[in-house]
Amino acid sequence: MRVLGIDPGLRNMGWGVIEVQGSRIAHVANGVCHGQGEDLAERLLALHTALAEVFAAHTPEAAAIEQTFVNKDGAGTLKLGQARGVAMLAVAQAGLRVGEYAPNAVKKAVVGVGHADKRQVLHMVKLQLPGCDIAGPDAADALAIAICHAHHLQSAGTLATALAKASA
């Protein structure tokens, strides 16, 4: 199964695709979509167009996005939320459900601690996806989100199998 992770951003939206087979994961691709343009609407359109190209090129079967956290700058949080909405729209247009994870949950799944810094996340992503050429910190975060979602899907599958066996 191919899993797409998305790290939302208004100027730089990271994305990463991994292949999951059982407990094994492998890197497929990663990159950064750039929100270019003079105004907000142009940037959001550029992000959506770029994400649609990622979907067309890599045909993921599952997708996840990082949840937005509220910071001191309300206007910045709102704009980030709009970029996140564009990412969620692209996932929905592809016919997929959106997995959503808090930043701390992603870090805990990949690094083992919820308050890891970006360097630690990058290091652990490289360890889990050896030989992967990562397009930058936003792409590393997106790959971490994909890894987190893969773990969640595996756990849900294991639970469903156990429940099916128990009810039989």
Q: Which residues are catalytic?
A: 7, 66, 138
Residues near 77 by beta carbon (within 8 Å), at least 6 away in sequence: 68, 69, 70, 71
Give strand ranges (E) for the chain: 2-7, 12-21, 24-34, 62-66, 98-101
Burial (CB count <10 Å: 0-12, 13-18, 19+), residue 94? middle
Triad 40, 45, 49: Cα angle to 5°: 150
**How many Å apart are CA 14 and CA 4, to the nearest integer?**
10
